[in-house]
Amino acid sequence: MYKNILLKIEYDGTDFCGWQIQPDVPTVQGQIEEAIYFLSGTRTEIKGTSRTDAGVHAMGQMASFEGDIKIPTERLAYVLNNHLPGSIRIKEAIEKPLGFHARFDAKGKKYIYRIMNCSQRDPFKRNFYYFVEKPLDLPSMQKAAAYIEGKNDFKCFQAAGSTEKETTVRTVKNLSIKKESDEITIEITGDGFLYNMVRIIAGTLVDVGHGKISPLDMPLIIKSKDRRKAGHTAPPQGLYLAEVFY
């Protein structure tokens, strides 16, 4: 039976060269497409909402595909998981109308960035946090974060050399920073994100926390549209695609 299926996916991105399929290297998309091929006998391209980079994780990546799938939709996640590595899990499979597209029909996303702020690195957490040894000034980071919320041209938070976008204007609906023990969690929700935008925001906030950038400079940095004015790009290990909104 020909169906359009939306998959909700979580994965540990440590062992993958990102989401997007590439020749001769392991990718999340490639692994899932192989599992679908094993079940259906047909090569099918799945369309992911976000092309996460190497080392980036997901709790709620969404991807859609169309094909002749004889397995009942409510059983599809279970069956696919039997043919996927333990680092990838299909959380849910939902049948959608033909023409639905996981990426183009998305209304927004939520990302989480995790920082471990302590002097001793934990080797068992190295793939899941950004370890920052020097103490961070949380109130200053929170003050800076407040300036990022809203609709702005966020070109300053786009990776240098990125493919030109039709527009670099985005709306950050919420940006919160919380600390529990040594763990700092940055949560950001928006209608869309530029390439490396969340990692650059996280790195900029860390620079604020270290006193390298003043929170009061944030409006000027955004207004400049200059990547060189913002802070460093935080590493991929701390980044998680948490949720996609439709």
Does the pLDDT value for residue 1 go beyond 90? Answer: no
Q: 97-102 contacts: CB < 8 A, separation 24 or more?
A: 97/4, 98/2, 98/4, 98/66, 99/4, 100/4, 100/6, 100/64, 101/47, 101/64, 102/6, 102/47, 102/48, 102/49, 102/62, 102/63, 102/64, 102/244
pTM: 0.95
Does the pLDDT value for residue 220 go beyond 90? Answer: yes
Strand runs labelled E in 88-238: 88-96, 108-117, 130-132, 150-153, 169-180, 183-190
CB 124 within 8 Å of CB 38 = no
Q: How far apart are CA 19 and CA 27, in angstroms?
A: 5
Of residues 147, 211, 212, the one with CA closest to residue 177: 147
- The DSSP line for 175-197 is EEEEEETTEEEEEEEES---TTH
Find the catalytic residue in 53, 105, 153, 191.
53
217 catalytic residue (yes or no): no
Which pLDDT value is given to residue 16? Answer: 97
Average pLDDT in the chain: 96
CATH number of 108-245: 3.30.70.660
Q: How far apart are CA 138 and CA 206, in angstroms?
A: 9
Q: Are strands 57-68 and 47-48 parallel, antiparallel or unpaired?
A: antiparallel
Does the pLDDT value for residue 238 go beyond 90? Answer: yes
Domains 2-96 and 108-245 agree in fold? yes
Q: Which DSSP helix (H) or strand (E) runs through 67?
A: strand 57-68
* Domain spanning 2-96, CATH class: alpha beta
Q: How far apart are CA 150 and CA 12, in angstroms?
A: 31
pLDDT single digits (tens) 154-192: 999 999 877 777 899 999 999 999 999 999 999 999 999
| Residue ranges per structural domain of the chain | 2-96, 108-245
Q: Under DSSP, is residue 151 helix (H, G, I), strand (E, B) or coil?
A: strand
217 by Cβ neighbours in 10 Å (0-12 / 13-18 / 19+) ranks as middle
Provide φ and ψ at 112, rounded to 5°: -120, 135
Total residue length of the chain: 246
Q: Under DSSP, is residue 118 helix (H, G, I), strand (E, B) or coil?
A: coil
Using a pLDDT cut of 70, give the percent of the chain over it. 100
Which pLDDT value is given to residue 161? Answer: 79
Cα pseudo-dihedral 134, 139, 144, 150, rounded to 10: 130
Cα pseudo-dihedral 12, 17, 20, 26, rounded to 10: -90
Which pLDDT value is given to residue 34? Answer: 96
pLDDT single digits (tens) 75-131: 999 999 999 999 999 999 999 999 999 999 999 999 999 999 999 999 999 999 999
Which pLDDT value is given to residue 182? Answer: 97
